[in-house]
Amino acid sequence: MGEAKRPLFGEIGIDLFAGPTEVHIVADEAADPFTVVTDLLSQAEHGPDTPAVLITTSEKVRCEAINIFDELLGNLPTAELAGTSWRDYGEAILVDNINEAYKLADKFSSEHVQVLTQNPREALEKMSNYGALVLGEKTCVPYGDKYIGTNHVLPARKAGN
């Protein structure tokens, strides 16, 4: 986004050059791997240093998400940026249980934490370190950023601690 604004800087008013973004998705076996991947990609394509991390209790979701990621990446006009982010900062982490997933996501203190589980609202009681907590499959990070007005003002890089 910042690079798109840069050529116009000084010619017209620019709100700001946004800093880095990041997303961690907590998922269990109820998560749709396609949804997981599209939401990871929606952040990974922001720049070459964007962490996009899946933390899941399901080996099936993890494996399917990795395969879908590779398929979808090739079709993106931003494939170079998203691919670099995924290669250098992306992860698909398998944990033993949902409490471990919440604990790990809380430790990362990400700007965006999206919860795609059978009971996403339980994250409200289990987590406290994040910029925005996005709950359930009918929500996604861009909705939160663009529609409720938090875009470019959330703490990133562990500043949510």
- Confirm whether 134 is domain-assigned: yes
pLDDT in tens, the chain (161 residues): 556 666 766 676 655 555 568 899 999 999 999 999 999 999 999 888 999 999 999 999 999 999 999 999 989 999 998 999 999 999 999 999 999 999 999 999 988 999 999 999 999 999 999 888 999 998 888 777 767 655 555 555 555 55
Secondary element (H or E) of residue 132: strand 132-135
For residue 157, is it within any domain?
A: no
Closest by CA position to 36, among listed 60, 58, 59, 69? 69
pLDDT (0 to 100) of residue 1: 54
Residue 13 included in any domain? no
Predicted pLDDT at 139? 86
- Virtual CA dihedral for 88, 55, 158, 78, nearest 10 degrees? 40
Tell me the C-alpha distance between 92 and 24, whole Å. 10
The CATH number that applies at residue 27 is 3.40.50.1980
Residues labelled catalytic: 111
Does the residue 83 lie in any domain?
Answer: yes
Assess contact for 17 and 7: CB atoms under 8 A. no
* Domains contained in the chain, number: 1
Structural domain harbouring 25: 19-138
